[in-house]
Structure 1
Amino acid sequence: MITRLRSLTRQWTTLVPVLAVVLLALTWGRALPGALVALATLVLAGSVLAAVHHAEVVAHRVGEPFGSLVLAVAVTIIEVALIVTLMADGGDKSSTLARDTVFAAVMIACNGIVGISLLVASLRHGTALFNPEGTGAALATVATLATLSLVLPTFTTSKPGPEFSTVQLTFAALSSLILYGLFVTTQTVRHRDYFLPVTRQGKVISGEDHASPPSAREAWLSLGLLGLALVGVVGLAKGVSPTIESGVAAAGLPHAVVGVIIALLVLLPETIAALRAARRDRVQTSLNLALGSAMASIGLTIPAVALASVWLSGPLVLGLGPTHMLMLALTVVVSSLTVVPGRATPLQGGVHLVLFAAYLELAVNP
């Protein structure tokens, strides 16, 4: 029975990415009618789930923390591609899209994914255990990147409005890349043990103990199918984005909600993978995924949009407003208090989820 289920899983996770790319090729550059939008949405959702499966296969082969890094970078590639393509098509109305999407990714990762992971793990296993050294380093990097890229533009005076000047934007982009590169080196080379799951006795788990790793051939195949799935997600999401934007406008919601929807979409693979890890009492893996996604979202997206701004017309607004800056500050403070003990109860998970709910409420009703 188990062999049959694995065979069925392998079949659909292979077929869906291929179907997504074929559908993308047939619909690229065309206005989609309602039926095709519905089909594209279904295939897009299947591609997201397939991407999670193949990313987990690769992660199981390479081990932690490399596995969570693979998925974080893959998801960020989706986000960057969506932001740049939508900014190219949207004109002035998309001047805040990068800011809204990156900030949404930070709030979803640091409050939504962290909160649900801590809640699930603590309810299932009593308390959620993780390594405060590695998690604290990740949180400090996220807080620094968010402040440099999303808070400072509101207060600089070289250019009117919450925008960076060219020199300031170049500095922010280079700083983001340097900090992200330093973190990846710390996570994967110099202090890898800080980012590995821990047992109830406080010992580091150096490998997965629930199944033997896949072969190199299976891992390479999954890596290729992961790439196909991501291409399908990016392309199909761009195809349905006009429907999303028109739906948001028809509902009378702020345009910033488009950024929230994009971030929710691209972080869906991370959320599913983090929940699975939390259920297996691998909370450190869940936190690696969450904070790694937030970090990659800023550290890779800001340089990408900075480069794209060279040929894109219109302003690039990165500075947050007072309400969002307050939410970011509260998130950093609460996250710091959560990380310090190295363990969490359902209370900490609930606090983060309430912050996430408050962010969604303010996005819809600013």
Structure 2
Amino acid sequence: MGCMMRALTRHWTTYVPLLAALILAIAWFSHPSGPVVLVLVLALAGAVLSAVQHAEVVAHRVGEPFGSLVLAVAVTVIEVGLILTLMASGGPDASSLARDTVFAAVMITCNGIVGLSLLVGAIRRRVAVFNAEGTGAALATVATLATLSLVLPTFTTSKPGPEFSGSQLAFAAVASLLLYGLFVAVQTIRHREDFLPVENADDDEPHEPPTGRAALRSLALLLIALIGVVGLAKLVSPAIETGVHAAGLPRSAVGVVIALLVLLPETLAAVRVARRDKVQISLNLALGSAMASIGLTIPAIALASIWISGPLTLGLGATQMVLLALTVVVGALTVVPGRATLLQGGVHLVLFAAFVFLAVSP
């Protein structure tokens, strides 16, 4: 019995994603409540932790910046699928779902994950060091994508309300996809060195990379775990919505909670690598996730709008635009020196706290 328990403990990252997927399949067509919701939350937490473990195996095999790109794209693709599913079944109430989810992802990654990574890195070495060229390019791309897709719809006049016309949405979709593809090419091929850690970091990973077979196995389990994370987050969202409504909070708070759950794997992965003085990889994860959230979601909903009827609200409100502008300005001032202290990390975390507070108390 003791040997069996040790084996289960050692291979928990294999069993937990499969168990989470099984629980998701069983509960998918039900309306969970009470103790069932607790089981779903526990399965969600296990899927998050196992996803982080498998993402690190894949990252160690393919190297940076490919490793952080794999996790960012995998989470975003599944998140886009969730958004489209909810939009198709949500009716008019889902008209602003894509906007709220993408904006929440940008604020969580560019302030929450960036702030935590800088804070952890600065605590360990007094100063968190990263590559200003690569990080600055990533931040500029995020700012451009966010402005084209989330700010301009508030000011365009072809269609009433904060919406794009059909041609404007098509332009935003094509521009987003091209810009994201260009960034990935620059990050992984032409200027890959700009996205690598700038100094030797503490390395507690094995020096020999995992075999190709082990990496493919971890990639498959990573995808299963991420499907479990997003699917279980969808199943617990009615309970979250009920709790938010009972607390008298606005509906937008639900989107923030769900986005936090979906981005947990990337948050934990970013903090873990920051603890090993690889702050650049943490920033790759954070800004890459923000970029993928916009660059993949906007084209997807542009295609989906062909068969999904109803309005599509993309333009941000005044409060959200102020937070986005402040995030871009503070991010630029953080990135330019190529080094950050506890202060910069604290500033980003305060901005993230302001976003969460204003989401529940607009």
TM-score for the superposition, normalised by structure 2: 0.95
Aligned-partner Cα distance in 2 for 1:176–1:10: 42
**Shift, 1:177, TM fit:** 0.6
Aligned-partner Cα distance in 2 for 1:6–1:130: 39
Q: Does 1:309 align with 2:305?
A: yes
Evaluate the alpha carbon distance shift between residue 309 and residue 292 of structure 1 in structure 2; reply closer, same or farther with a 3 A threshold.
same
What SS does the corresponding residue of 1:68 show, helix, strand or coil?
helix
Q: Which amino acid aligns with 1:285?
A: I
Deviations along 1:189-241, whole A, 9 cap, x unmatched?
000000000117xxxx8x96742211111111101111111222222222222
Output aligned runs, 1:190-339, within 5 Å.
190-199=190-199, 210-212=205-207, 213-339=209-335
Q: Which amino acid aligns with 2:252?
A: A
Aligned-partner Cα distance in 2 for 1:209–1:254: 44
- Residue 40 of structure 2: aligned partner: 40
Aligned-partner Cα distance in 2 for 1:16–1:76: 21
Aligned-partner Cα distance in 1 for 2:116–2:224: 29
Aligned-partner Cα distance in 2 for 1:276–1:5: 27
- Residue 13 of structure 2: aligned partner: 13
- Residue 62 of structure 1: aligned partner: 62
The question of whether the paired residues in 2 share the 8 Å contact of 1:129 and 1:283 is answered with: yes
Aligned-partner Cα distance in 2 for 1:10–1:360: 37
Q: Does 1:357 align with 2:353?
A: yes
Aligned-partner Cα distance in 1 for 2:21–2:265: 18
What SS does the corresponding residue of 1:110 show, helix, strand or coil?
helix
Aligned-partner Cα distance in 2 for 1:59–1:126: 27
Deviations along 1:59-78, whole A, 9 cap, x unmatched?
01101000000110111123
**Shift, 1:9, TM fit:** 5.6
TM-score for the superposition, normalised by structure 1: 0.94
The question of whether the paired residues in 2 share the 8 Å contact of 1:50 and 1:229 is answered with: yes
What SS does the corresponding residue of 1:318 show, helix, strand or coil?
coil
Aligned-partner Cα distance in 2 for 1:5–1:319: 53
The question of whether the paired residues in 1 share the 8 Å contact of 2:203 and 2:276 is answered with: no
Q: Which amino acid aligns with 1:141?
A: T
Deviations along 1:147-198, whole A, 9 cap, x unmatched?
0000000000111000011111111111111010000000000000000001
Aligned-partner Cα distance in 1 for 2:156–2:127: 43
Q: Does 1:135 align with 2:131?
A: no
Q: Does 1:28 align with 2:28?
A: yes
- Residue 91 of structure 1: aligned partner: 91
Q: Which amino acid aligns with 2:206?
A: A
Aligned-partner Cα distance in 1 for 2:312–2:177: 19
Evaluate the alpha carbon distance shift between residue 216 and residue 35 of structure 1 in structure 2; reply closer, same or farther with a 3 A threshold.
same
Deviations along 1:31-88, whole A, 9 cap, x unmatched?
1232222111110111111111111110011010000001101111232122112222
**Shift, 1:313, TM fit:** 2.7
What SS does the corresponding residue of 1:363 show, helix, strand or coil?
helix
Percent identical among aligned pairs is 72
**Shift, 1:257, TM fit:** 1.1
**Shift, 1:350, TM fit:** 0.7
Q: Which amino acid aligns with 2:70?
A: V
Output aligned runs, 1:147-162, within 5 Å.
147-162=147-162
The question of whether the paired residues in 2 share the 8 Å contact of 1:79 and 1:262 is answered with: no
Alpha-carbon RMSD: 1.8
Aligned-partner Cα distance in 1 for 2:166–2:285: 32
The question of whether the paired residues in 2 share the 8 Å contact of 1:66 and 1:188 is answered with: yes
Which piece of structure 1 moves more, 72-81 or 295-304?
Answer: 72-81
Q: Does 1:118 align with 2:118?
A: yes
Q: Which runs of 5+ in 1 are unaligned?
A: none
Aligned-partner Cα distance in 1 for 2:358–2:330: 19
The question of whether the paired residues in 1 share the 8 Å contact of 2:187 and 2:194 is answered with: yes
The question of whether the paired residues in 2 share the 8 Å contact of 1:119 and 1:349 is answered with: yes
The question of whether the paired residues in 2 share the 8 Å contact of 1:177 and 1:299 is answered with: yes
Evaluate the alpha carbon distance shift between residue 210 and residue 48 of structure 1 in structure 2; reply closer, same or farther with a 3 A threshold.
closer
Evaluate the alpha carbon distance shift between residue 7 and residue 358 of structure 1 in structure 2; reply closer, same or farther with a 3 A threshold.
same
Evaluate the alpha carbon distance shift between residue 6 and residue 100 of structure 1 in structure 2; reply closer, same or farther with a 3 A threshold.
farther
The question of whether the paired residues in 1 share the 8 Å contact of 2:233 and 2:262 is answered with: no
Aligned-partner Cα distance in 2 for 1:48–1:88: 26
Q: Which runs of 5+ in 2 are unaligned?
A: none
**Shift, 1:127, TM fit:** 0.3
Aligned-partner Cα distance in 1 for 2:145–2:157: 20
Evaluate the alpha carbon distance shift between residue 330 and residue 344 of structure 1 in structure 2; reply closer, same or farther with a 3 A threshold.
same
